[in-house]
Amino acid sequence: MKFIKGLALFTYQQVICCLFPAAIFIALAVTKYVKVPFMTRYDLLLLFCLVVQGFLLYFKLETKDELKVIMLFHLIGLALEIYKVNIGSWSYPGAGFWKLGGVPLYSGFMYSSIGSYICKAWKVFDLKMSHWPKQLLVWLLCIGIYLNFFTHHFIWDLRWWLTGAVFLLFYQTWVYFTVGSYRLKMPLSLSFLCIAFFIWVAENIASFFGAWAYPDQLKQWRLVHIGKISSWYLLIIISIILIAQLKFKKNKELLD
């Protein structure tokens, strides 16, 4: 019975943390079937994301410092989107005025919503890290992961080497979190994988509602290849590292 109550509370806390991603999913579902006169779907989604982001800031669900980090991840994601779209990895076939390099600007908010989730989870679950690796090594890994998303199209794909580097660098790092009256912990590398899996699930939902389309989804929707989890595993690390650095700078007690 205690396990069921704890699981229910954990699920509720996760829902609270997912306000921004959930709002985007709802908007994707509604705009797929409901059209607004004189405004394209992509532009409407951008307006919606701006309103939600303003709402979170106004009601202090996000701080200004958190917003800066989240917007940095937004720009990182948008740059990656532009590159991937222009080499044909996926596409945004719909029309839109607010597009850059063939990518609607709302797409960056899908990345920043992940950052928003992590910021909220940090507070809701009272996260704390132990045995965080040396800063230089963390940043070198972060840069290597991001560059590989670009370079693997014309040189070797180093994702599995980078994944191995993640396990080596963070093998002693644990994340502590609170659910109700219980203080729990898990290896940080495992938490990366859990988040990556649920982002992959979210990606399937988003592509089903036409947020974007992979080449094999243009004629008919199909499940995103499960191998994408490895990409999300590496990309989520960048977001967590950016937010972790902000949290550690503000409060050194979050780091043992």
pLDDT along the chain (256 residues), means of 10: 79 88 89 87 94 90 84 90 89 87 91 89 91 91 93 89 94 92 91 89 84 79 85 88 80 60
Model-wide pTM > 0.85: yes
How confident is the model over 233-243, as pLDDT tens digits? 998 888 888 88
Q: Which token pair is 67?
A: 């917003």
pLDDT digits (tens, 9 = 90+) for 37-59: 889 999 999 999 999 999 988 88
